[in-house]
Each structure stands twice: as C-alpha cells, then as structure tokens.
C-alpha cells in the first residue's frame, strides 16, 4: 500500500485595513506557517511603497506576495499618484499573465485617498465603511473592526484591537503585529 503524501501548504495570515479620522492603517501579523509548523513569528507583511505614499499588506504565499509588491511598485512608478489606475493595471496583468495567474495571494493597499483590495481573479475592490480584513483570520479581524468602528477609538487602535481578536481565534495568526499609518485627505 502506497502512502499518499500531500505537500506542506503555507497557511495564511491576517491583514486588516482601517480608514477613520484622517488616517488609514494597514496592520498584519508576523506568523508564517508551513503545514502545522510555525516557521517564523516576525515576518513583515505590511510595508510602505511609492516612497511612503502608499501602504500595502499581503496574505498568501510569501514569494508570491513579494512578486506582487514588486509589480505594484513598478505600476506605481508608471502611474505616479494614481493608486486606482496602478492597481487596475496590476490586476489586468495578474489575471492574464501565465506566470502571475498562478500566484496565490491577496493584497490590501491604500494611499491618502483610496483603499483597495486586490485579488488574483482580477478584482480591485473598495472596502465598505473603510474597513477590510483578508487572510485566514481576516473575517475575525473584519468583524471586530466593524464592531469597534463606531467607538471613539482611532484607526490604529481599532486595527490593533481587531488584530488581537484574530490572533486569539485563528491558529495561523499571531500577536506580532506590524502597523503602517498614512494621513488621509479627510
């Protein structure tokens, strides 16, 4: 009898975005898991792009995400100050290019005016209410963020509290949080 072995799978993360009170925040946890093993606790999945004018966070396969960061950075150079246009162009490439189509990741991106979710199916979506969560703990963070949205908490506090909720529930999310903040046009 031959034993079937499935390859180890990289599991998700939690990335969340909150736009409130003149700020937009993207927060992400630091856990990288391979199968049932935590490989790293402090990965940086959220970073500034376009000389700090854009912030982005990814959920999914790490190498795929770095490829997408590079591609997005290139599109932002091609279309400076036009986040929506750069993201639509990236989504077109992602959907039609044979290599990019195989990438397994999602991204949250924001600048001072716009917040977007990018997917490998070509979706470029604006989150409702300025809050979005992606990754394995994304729905937990999204629910917590929405529950906190009407409080007096600022965007960063909401993001941190929502990420803490996700870390308590999702086994692929930890409490090592990276946060990037931009002042918005509000």
Q: Each residue of 63-97: pLDDT tens digit?
A: 777 778 888 999 999 999 999 999 999 888 877 76
> Which of 13, 14, 178, 184 is labelled catalytic?
13
| Per-residue pLDDT tens over the stretch 116-170 | 998 877 789 999 899 999 999 999 999 999 999 999 999 999 999 999 999 999 9
| 39 in Cβ contact with 168 (< 8 Å) | no
Q: Average pLDDT of 97-109?
A: 74
Q: Is residue 110 predicted with pLDDT exceeding 90?
A: yes
According to the annotation, is 87 in a ligand binding site? no
| 162 carries a ligand binding annotation | no
Q: Residue 104 burial by CB count (10 A; 0-12/13-18/19+): exposed, middle or buried?
A: middle
Which CATH number is associated with domain 10-172? Answer: 3.60.20.10
Question: Is 178 a residue of the active site?
Answer: no
Least confident of 35-49, 61-75, 127-141, 170-184: 61-75
- Residue 167 marked in a binding site: yes
Domain boundaries, the chain: 10-172
């Amino acid at each position: 009898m031959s034993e079937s072995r499935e390859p180890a799978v990289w599991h998700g993360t939690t990335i969340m975005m909150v736009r409130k009170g003149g700020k937009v925040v993207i927060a992400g946890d630091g856990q990288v898991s391979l199968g049932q093993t935590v490989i790293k606790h402090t990965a940086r999945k959220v970073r500034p792009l376009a000389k700090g004018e854009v912030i982005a966070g990814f959920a999914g396969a790490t190498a795929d995400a770095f490829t997408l960061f590079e591609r997005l950075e290139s599109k932002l150079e091609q279309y400076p100050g036009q986040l929506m246009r750069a993201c639509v162009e990236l989504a077109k490439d992602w959907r039609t290019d044979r290599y990019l189509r195989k990438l397994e990741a999602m991204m949250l991106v924001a600048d001072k005016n716009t917040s977007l979710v990018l997917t490998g199916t070509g979706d470029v979506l604006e989150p409702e209410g300025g809050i979005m969560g992606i990754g394995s703990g994304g729905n937990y963070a999204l629910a917590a963020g929405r529950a906190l949205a009407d409080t007096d908490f600022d965007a960063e506090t909401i993001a941190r509290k929502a990420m803490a909720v996700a870390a308590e529930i999702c086994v692929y999310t930890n409490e090592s949080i990276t946060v990037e903040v931009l002042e918005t046009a509000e």
